[in-house]
Chains A and B, each alone.
Chain A
Amino acid sequence: MPRFVQWIWKVCAIHYAIGLAAYLHFLITGSYRYLTWYFLVLGTLFFLLTTAAEFFLAFECRAGFEADEPMRMAWTFIALSSLARFVAAAMISLDHWRGASIPGSTSSVLLVILPRGLAQAGEVVGGPLSMVLLTVALSRILHVQRKFGVLRGLTRADLLLIGLIGAILLGEIVNIVRYLGPSYQHPPLTEAILWLSDPLLCFLLVQAILIRRSMIRVGLGLISQCWEMYVIAIVTTLAGDASIWASGKGLLSEPLIALSWYIWFFSAAAFASAPAYQLAAMTLQLHEGTIRKY
């Protein structure tokens, strides 16, 4: 495993260990005290750290390609997508500190200088905007894979899954059209943009399935592992989204709702380790037992 990837997962494991202690405290006492502290302070730091690492690594990958190489464009969009997630994490955390009015602290200053609706704007930047950028990048990757004969056709299971995703998408579109109709109040712009999250995630999943099929064909090298990490990140994001939907519908118990929040850290770590694999391949890092003398 490349050095950067090891660091990312070590930090993630430590973060989860602390989170487990907070969760156990919540299960035993029923108090949200440590759980809230864990998600608001350590959780925010973790998101800022992983998205910053992802942006740095993706930018380094981009720099490894020359201007006329097709993968440079892909890595430019991946770097922008990670930057969008970093900005979103910063905006959402700032909005929290803006709202937390502790007497005598600097948060009262934040209340004055920071605009309202910062969290929702952050959700748009880290959600649909970041997803659009990633979609463009993955389209480029698929184009390169097709060009070199690496891209593999879909199996029946894939087609079935894509059909299912298509049906969900159609349902979403019907809902969006219904909400925009005369019987409903016009939603704020940010809310309307956020409705695009699920369709975009579904589209990303289809792209991820295609990329994963190709990876199975060539085996798990460093580059393949990079795209495998994006697949894992997209699938876990989708799982996180589904858990939010299930929580909203009252399908999950209180302990399960709290447990479902932890999935976002795994997704963030997977997003960050993807460019780390690519960079390891580009810098031709040697690994013990793989290449002995050259």
Chain B
Amino acid sequence: MEQRGLLSEIDGGVLPSLILDDQSGDDMAIVELSRKMLSWSRLWFGSSGSCAPTEEHNLVRERLLSWLRLCIGQQASDVLASRGEDISLATSTPLLTAFLGRRAMRELSRRVLNDL
């Protein structure tokens, strides 16, 4: 109980599901974490054939395409597409990092994922 109180004291907003009873709380936290991990990995790697692209996927793709066009060129997406890859943060990161640097790419990723 003391530990639960401490966790909610640390950050109630981040860990709301932990303020439950011990056993079900752990399970739910893992489920919640898995759900978030899956959601972020889908955003990072883009939509695959197994699942339909969501509105968030499309937004990330659109933002990335805008940055690719601005920084590299209009046909930058074609270069990635020619390698059989869809536009996602995972596929465009190596190219953008090479020409912009890691620092700029970190900021770009932050802007692409902003509000999602």
Q: Is the CB of B98 within 8 A of A221?
A: no
Q: Is the CB of B66 within 8 A of A147?
A: no
B114 within 8 A of A: yes
A270 within 8 A of B: no
Interface residues in B56-87 (C-beta closer than 8 Å to A):
63, 66-76, 78-79, 82-83
Residue of A whose beta carbon sits closest to that of B71: A281
Residues A284 and B108 in contact in the complex (CB < 8 Å), given A148-B95, A290-B69, A294-B63:
yes
A224 within 8 A of B: yes
Tally A-B pairs: CB < 8 A: 95
Interface of A is mostly: loop
Given the complex, which residues of B lie within 8 Å of A66, measured CB to CB?
A: 101-103
- Measured CB to CB, the closest approach of chain A to B92, in angstroms, equals 11
- Mark interface residues in A51-80 (1 if CB within 8 Å of B CB, else 0): 000000000000011100111100000000
Given the complex, which residues of B lie within 8 Å of A221, measured CB to CB?
A: 68-74, 76
Cα of A266 to Cα of B116 in the assembled complex, Å: 46
Q: Is the CB of B101 within 8 A of A219?
A: no
- Mark interface residues in A259-291 (1 if CB within 8 Å of B CB, else 0): 000000000000000000000011110010011
- Mark interface residues in A144-159 (1 if CB within 8 Å of B CB, else 0): 1001111000000000
Given the complex, which residues of A lie within 8 Å of B66, measured CB to CB?
A: 290-291, 294
Cα of A281 to Cα of B107 in the assembled complex, Å: 12
- Mark interface residues in A171-214 (1 if CB within 8 Å of B CB, else 0): 00000000000000000000000000000000000000000000
Select which of B73, B82, B103, B112 is within 8 A of A215 by beta carbon: B73
Residues A294 and B75 in contact in the complex (CB < 8 Å), given A281-B99, A284-B104:
no
- Measured CB to CB, the closest approach of chain A to B94, in angstroms, equals 7
Residues A294 and B76 in contact in the complex (CB < 8 Å), given A64-B101, A223-B99:
no
- Measured CB to CB, the closest approach of chain B to A293, in angstroms, equals 9
Cα of A287 to Cα of B66 in the assembled complex, Å: 11
Given the complex, which residues of B lie within 8 Å of A290, measured CB to CB?
A: 66, 69-70
Q: Is the CB of B73 within 8 A of A224?
A: yes
Given the complex, which residues of A lie within 8 Å of B73, measured CB to CB?
A: 215, 218-221, 223-224
Given the complex, which residues of B lie within 8 Å of A291, measured CB to CB?
A: 63, 66-67, 70
- Measured CB to CB, the closest approach of chain B to A173, in angstroms, equals 36
28 CB < 8 A contacts A-B:
A64-B103, A65-B101, A69-B101, A70-B98, A71-B99, A71-B101, A147-B98, A149-B82, A149-B83, A218-B74, A219-B72, A219-B73, A219-B76, A220-B73, A221-B68, A221-B70, A221-B74, A223-B73, A223-B100, A281-B70, A281-B99, A281-B100, A284-B71, A284-B104, A284-B108, A284-B111, A290-B66, A294-B112
| Other A-B pairs beyond A220-B73, A220-B74, A281-B99, 20, CB < 8 Å | A64-B104, A65-B101, A66-B103, A69-B102, A218-B74, A218-B76, A218-B79, A221-B70, A221-B71, A221-B72, A221-B73, A223-B71, A223-B72, A223-B100, A224-B73, A282-B100, A282-B104, A284-B71, A284-B108, A294-B114
B-side residues, CB < 8 A to A, are: 63, 66-76, 78-79, 82-83, 94-95, 97-104, 107-108, 111-112, 114
